[in-house]
């Protein structure tokens, strides 16, 4: 039995089905529906629409986080089995990519449910997924006697053959040859954002029973991310000034720095969101500022610099000094 107020304000009694939240809330997703969304996400992960898969898996799995280990395990299996089975014919690398896509959603849902999702956790999830996919591709191409850089150079030769030796073409070739691993980071970042969307939708449907992902305005990178950026900058400086330093140091340092740029750009965007809200700017002004900030980021790394400065300046006056928790990772860990 449950009691809720009717339209006249008086209380009424009635029987509410299991998992329902009453007339003002939506019914929690049933177990078969959860498994369906997880299985659908796993199936989609093996297709060209794999970027959508984490949202589907996170939506279904999000409701399972309120269950015990058995419910979680069922949703996990429902997502992983179709992902592995449908991508098996495409090769080992495709299997790893599909499984990583689903696991990003599962990890994100678990971290949000436990109140431990923050900037540091997001960086670790993206790094783990990107490393797994990169390693799988490297092993596959190595089994046929080649390497990923060799394949990248071959593709560049094919697509840039008719453009001659223009300076812009050579700059593009140099950039792609050096920074191709960032493509794995971008793909994993898109999967993480899709997983956060699915987790948010599940929390909204649960009418407060499930934890919601932290807001962007609370995004705050931990100090170990800053240390990684400093180390990558030192590696770049050494590789560019000391001839004895191997070229691998240059590639690793450049890709780590470029990957961390996304984290600091997100922090810079969080500062912008805080500024717009603190000034009660109109939607039009907020939109114009956002477009201008993204343009300046692409040209001059403005958001990245703002995010890096915010680590010390703390423009948003966040409470720092502890581990990231339910507050959305606003504390540096």
Residue 7 pLDDT > 80: no
Query: What does 194-221 look like in DSSP terms, one character per residue?
Result: HHHHHHHHHHHHTTTSSPPPPPGGG---
101-104, Cβ contacts within 8 angstroms, sequence gap of 24 or more: 101/45, 101/50, 101/53, 101/54, 101/57, 101/129, 101/191, 102/41, 102/42, 102/45, 102/53, 102/54, 102/57, 103/129, 104/54, 104/129, 104/188, 104/191, 104/192, 104/195
Residue 323 pLDDT > 50: no
What percent of the chain has a predicted confidence (pLDDT) above 70?
Answer: 88
Note the pLDDT of residue 326.
37
Whole-structure pTM value: 0.86
Report residue 296 as tokens. 């300046």
User: 214-262 pLDDT, tens per residue?
Assistant: 999 999 999 999 999 999 999 999 999 999 999 999 999 999 999 999 9
Helical packing angle, 119-143 and 223-241, nearest 10°? 50
Residue 19 pLDDT > 60: no
- For residues 283-311, average pLDDT: 94
**Range ranked top by mean pLDDT from 89-98, 157-166, 322-331:** 89-98
Tell me which residue has tokens 């330093």.
Answer: 245
Note the pLDDT of residue 325.
39
Residue 23 pLDDT > 90: no
Note the pLDDT of residue 16.
40
* Residues contacting 100, CB < 8 A, separation 6+: 129, 132, 133, 188, 191
- Calculate the average pLDDT of the chain: 88
């Amino acid at each position: 039995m449950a009691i809720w107020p009717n339209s006249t304000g008086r209380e009424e009694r009635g029987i509410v089905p299991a998992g329902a939240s009453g007339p003002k809330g939506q019914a929690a997703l049933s177990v078969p529906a959860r498994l369906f969304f997880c299985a659908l996400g796993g199936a989609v992960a093996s297709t060209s629409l794999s970027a959508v898969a984490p949202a589907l898996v996170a939506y279904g799995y999000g409701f399972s986080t309120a269950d015990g280990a058995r419910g979680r395990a069922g949703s996990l299996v429902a997502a992983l089995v179709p992902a592995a089975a449908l991508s098996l014919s495409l090769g080992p690398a495709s299997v790893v990519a599909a499984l990583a896509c689903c696991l990003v959603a599962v990890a994100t849902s678990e971290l949000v449910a436990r109140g431990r999702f923050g900037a540091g956790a997001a960086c670790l999830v993206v790094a783990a997924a990107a490393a797994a996919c990169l390693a799988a591709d490297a092993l596959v191409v190595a089994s046929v006697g080649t390497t990923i850089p060799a394949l990248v150079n071959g593709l560049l030769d094919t697509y840039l053959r008719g453009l001659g030796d223009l300076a812009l073409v050579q700059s593009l070739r140099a950039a792609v040859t050096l920074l191709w691993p960032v493509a794995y980071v971008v793909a994993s970042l898109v999967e993480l954002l899709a997983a956060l969307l699915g987790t948010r939708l599940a929390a909204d449907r649960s009418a407060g029973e499930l934890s919601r992902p932290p807001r962007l305005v609370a995004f705050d990178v931990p100090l170990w991310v800053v240390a990684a950026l400093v180390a990558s900058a030192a590696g770049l400086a050494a590789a560019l000034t000391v001839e004895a330093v191997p070229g691998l140091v240059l590639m690793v340092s450049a890709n780590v720095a470029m990957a961390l740029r996304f984290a600091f750009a997100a922090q810079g965007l969080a500062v912008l969101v805080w500024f717009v809200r603190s000034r009660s700017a109109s939607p039009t002004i907020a939109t114009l500022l956002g477009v201008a900030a993204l343009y300046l980021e692409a040209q001059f790394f403005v958001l990245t610099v703002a995010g890096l400065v915010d680590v010390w300046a703390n423009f948003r006056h966040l409470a720092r000094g502890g581990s990231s928790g339910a507050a959305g990772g606003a504390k540096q860990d």
